[in-house]
Amino acid sequence: MAGPLTVPWMPPHDPGTPALSVVDMHTGGEPLRIVLAGCPEVVGPTLLAKRRYMRQHLDHVRRRLMFEPRGHRDMYGAVLVPSELPDAHLGVLFLNNEGYSSMCGHAVLALGRFALDFGLVPAPPSDAQEALVNIHCPCGLVAAFVECEGGRSRGPVRFHSVPAFVLATDFLVDVPGRGKVVVDIAYGGAFYAFVSAEKLGLDVCSAKMGDLVAAASAVTEAVKAQFKINHPDSEDLAFLYGTILTDGKDTYNEEPTTNICVFADEQVDRSPTGSGVTARIALQYHKGLLELNQTRAFKSSATGSVFTGKAVREAKCGDFKAVIVEVSGQAHYTGYSTGQ
C-alpha cells in the first residue's frame, strides 16, 4: 500500500500573481471573506482615501475575491488596513459585487470574533466575559463587543453604530412601471430607502426572490434619480446603497419584523442587514414608534436569521438628530483557503 499523500502547501501557480489567503465567515447566512494576506498595500493617509485608492488601483483584487470562480455575485469581503484613528484596533474596507460600501453590520459582527481570535486586539483577562474591538469603518469608528471565554470568542457579538439618522420621510417617488410610491430614507452607516413590500404588491415573506429583487432595484434607481443624497461629514458617504423591503410592521412589537435588503448591483443580503437594522431603528425612533433601549428583533426573509437592535442613546450627526444603535447577531467561521 502506498504511503500517505504528501502535497506542497499550494499547487503550482503563476509567481507573477500574488496568492491571496482568506478566512471565510458568515453572519446570519451572509458571507464574509476576510483577506489575511496577498493584497497589495492600500495607500492613503485616511481610511476614506484608502477606499478611493483601492477602487482606482486595486479593483482587480475585489473582482478576484467576489466573482466566480472564487466567489459569486452575492459574496461579500473585507480588506484589513491600518487606521489613522488612535482608538481603532483595525481599519477595514468592505467589498461587494459593485464596489466598496461605507458600512457593513454583518461584517462588523464577524470581524469582532476574528479580531479577538487572531490576536488583532489585546488579549482580555482570562475571566472576562466580553472583549472590546474598535473597528474603523469608512463611515466612522464602530465598537464591537465580543462574548468570550478564556480569551477566545464563543458566541454572539454586538456593536454600537455611528450616529444613525433619518434623511427623509414619506418621500413620494415615481417608480417606472409601479407608479408613485412613498418611501423613507435613513442612514445607519449607509443610506437605504425603506418601503413596505405591500405597497409594491408583494409579500416580503412569501414572494419570489426575483420579484423582490426587481421591485427593490426599481425603487433604488428611482430614488437615485429623484432625490439628492447628502451626508454632513463627507461626500464619500453620500450615496444610496440600496432598498430594504419590509413587512410594514414598524410599530414596536415583541415579535420579529421581517425585511429583505437588496444593495449594490442587485446583491441580496442573507442576513437581516446590520446597517439596515441600524437605519430602521433610527427611523422607528424618529417616528416615535420605538423608545430608547427597547429591543426589537429583525428577521431576514431570505434565510429566517435574526438580529436584534435597539437605540441606546441620542446623538447628533451634523444638524441631524441621531441615535447610537446597538445591533446583535451571531457570526460563524466557515473556512480558510489560499489560492490565486
Q: What residues are annotated to the active site? A: 104
Strands 90-95 and 130-137: parallel
Query: Any idea how long the chain is?
Result: 340
Could you give the count of Cα atoms lying within 13 Å of 92 in the half-sphere of its Cβ?
Answer: 36
DSSP 3-state assignment of 244?
strand
The CA-CA-CA angle for residues 98, 19, 49, to 5°, reads 45
The whole-angstrom separation of Cα 300 and Cα 257 is 9
The whole-angstrom separation of Cα 106 and Cα 331 is 8
The whole-angstrom separation of Cα 30 and Cα 36 is 19
